[in-house]
Chains A and B, each alone.
Chain A
Amino acid sequence: MELYRAHVLVCGGTGCTASGSGDLLKRFEEKLKEHSLEKEIKIVRTGCFGLCEAGPVVIVYPEGTFYSHVKVEDVDEIVSEHLLKGRKVQHLVYVDHATQESSVTKSLEEIGFYKKQKRLALRNCGVIDPENIDEYIAFDGYKALGKVLTEMTREQVIDEVIKSGLRGRGGAGFATGMKWKFTYQSQADQKYVACNADEGDPGAFMDRSVLEGDPHSVIEAMAIAGYAIGASEGYIYVRAEYPIAVKRLAIAIEQAKEYGLLGKNIFDTGFNFDLHIRLGAGAFVCGEETALMASVEGRRGEPRPRPPFPAVKGIFGKPTMLNNVETYANIPQIILKGSEWFSSIGTEKSKGTKVFALGGKINNTGLVEVPMGTPLREIIYDIGGGIPGGKQYKAVQTGGPSGGCIPAEHLDISIEYDTLTAIGSMMGSGGMIVLDEDNCMVDIARFFLDFTVDESCGKCAPCRIGTRRMLEILERIVEGKGEMEDIDKLETLAKNIKATALCGLGQSAPNPILSTLKYFRGEYEAHIKEKRCPAHHCQALLHFEITDKCRGCTLCAKVCPAGAITGEVRKQHTIDTQKCLKCGACMDKCRFSAIVKN
């Protein structure tokens, strides 16, 4: 048995890979050979640790030293100082900016970012090598499947999931156990289990990290689901824009098949289960369940009216049970540790934990997992490290283009399904985009609507035509051509589209508008009545002005493409706002910071 005295874990999630962690791995291997350390030290490429802002991330065990922002040149130092001589490389150790705590003085679990987290769905991410099934097994992998197939009846499995209180983590929050039960109850010669790994929300990467860091947890859960509902085949629908996730899933399925954990007669119990991967082609609407199933069948991704629900008639007309990646990631532990354990975490109506992808104007961008019921303030300030540059928090957009914003007055809200919908937002899949005083809420609404208009499949008129009309109105407003009745039009359109669109995409597209209107109506009115953008963001509403810092060097006048600047040498110049194109060339050229945007 080879015994390594130290393990060096290098993050291989997409974020760190994009920052060059692949080169780090190569360099580590080279340097270890150079110093003859390859027999003592094991290099492992893992999934995402979550603290993406600190990437590329390297953790050395047994000390648990957390190195952040590691560059290829730093590898030499880590090998010759830490691995060879045992001296931690202090300048590479992660320091929490907000508190200046270093992860050397405190253990990783005590650092602000990880202290309040409870990593259940992400338990193996950053700990195991996702391309090695043995490591998944070492941490209790496939034990749940074994237990289910040899000790539990199908009804008992479904019962456990119902009792756990697990709700769908894809956004809708439907009771997972009930969905399993309905599909179990359908009678058919073939049933399917499916996994929604499309993750279309911009800014969301929870599912990606699970697939890249712990693909077996999804495979095991789908097999368990297959047993429970009576399906012998499953489909994982993953977006093609996730090449690393696709690759790791494929490797994982291959390895599971080799071990007989997928295929015929698993654990000698007569249960057969096989998994197929289907790639999405970049359509947001294919994250909607019926559109997803159409896509799996090879048809254009378009939703259809329900009933019949997928539990009765799904892929190829057969009963299908579709769950989100994160929902599945929770299943093995519910089976092993029991529904009571799971339901002891979280709140009364929202059990367990939720993974959030923190992005936007926040210090600690990355992936966090917290128990349901955690106050938003803790997520933003304690875990997220607050807003960079000392700026003022304005709102957080949850649920992406289907969700709403949560302003400062609701910072103490407890994060769970029902509390968020009550204030006009929603949990969504977990994307959390933080906005500060420099973000214009009208423009944010326009940005999300632009996305949904692009992604609308076009089947139903309310979405196809309605969202486009709303976008036109918003574009007029941010260009300073809005009128007060535009707000009424927006509200009427929004309410109608919500009530009449065929699928969730259309029904939720107006949410960002309704929610920004509710909490930031003043910004809309300023854009319309005063032709002013309070956040100084909307280009069309900005006036470029030359202040008295101007020395009359004439450089700006020379560079202005519209000839809008006039003035005498050594005297303050002026900009003709009628001619001004707002290109900003003058501001870039001025060496005296005399030109400002108002």
Chain B
Amino acid sequence: MKSIAELEAIRQRTLDKVLLRKEGKDAVRVVVGMATCGIAAGARPVMLAFVEELKRRNLVNVTVSQTGCIGMCRLEPMVDVIVPGQEKVTYVKVKPEMVGRIVAEHIVNGRPVEAYTIGAAEDAR
């Protein structure tokens, strides 16, 4: 190794890969409902779309995990996005095509996509 800068470069590029293990308390959490209702409604492609999108954009302080059924099965697939310091936002009837917008507007720019939220779905009834 010829310089400290080279060491720093290795550090940076690997840190992104292992940050997951530090249980980043200030990470953005994306929680996808993956109970039977969720899976049947197609939650796995949605989860994979999130992982793909995060990968594409090189976003690292975001964790993607799964959870069980919260009860509103008719609205599955459901995704909670929890940004530290902000209110939890629940997206309903999420399709893989919607993921790009959620990541871009909510996770990157801090503006929840109102049209996709549970509030909007309720009002529409």
Contacts and interface: CB of A to CB of B under 8 A. Distances in A.
A3 B23 contact: no
A6 B65 contact: yes
A135 B18 contact: yes
B20 A86 contact: no
A50 B32 CA distance: 33
Given A62-B65, A134-B14, A86 B34 contact: yes
B4 interface: yes
Given A64-B23, A85-B35, A87-B68, A150 B4 contact: yes
Interface residues of A, number: 38
A114 to B, nearest CB: 13
A146 B58 CA distance: 28
A5 B14 contact: no
B17 interface: yes
Contacts of A4: 17, 20
Contacts of B51: 3, 5, 40
A3 B18 CA distance: 10
B2 to A, nearest CB: 5
A63 interface: yes
Interface string B44-76: 000110010011001010011111100000000
A174 interface: no
Interface string B90-104: 000000000000000
B18 A86 contact: no
Contacts of B125: none
Interface string A24-58: 00000000000000001010000000000000000
B10 interface: yes
B34 A85 contact: yes
B18 A137 contact: no
Given A7-B20, A85-B66, A86-B67, A138 B15 contact: yes
A1 interface: yes
A43 to B, nearest CB: 13
Contacts of A146: 4, 7
Interface string B1-35: 11110010011011111101101100100001011
Contacts of A64: 23
20 contacts: A1-B17, A3-B54, A3-B55, A4-B17, A4-B20, A5-B63, A6-B65, A62-B27, A64-B23, A87-B35, A87-B66, A137-B14, A138-B10, A138-B11, A138-B17, A138-B18, A139-B15, A139-B18, A260-B1, A261-B1
Interface of B: 1-4, 7, 10-11, 13-18, 20-21, 23-24, 27, 32, 34-35, 39, 47-48, 51, 54-55, 58, 60, 63-68
The 9 closest A-B pairs by CB, nearest first: A86-B66, A138-B14, A62-B63, A260-B1, A3-B55, A134-B14, A5-B64, A146-B4, A138-B15
Interface of A: 1-7, 9, 40, 42, 61-64, 84-87, 107, 127-128, 134-135, 137-143, 146, 150, 259-261, 266-268
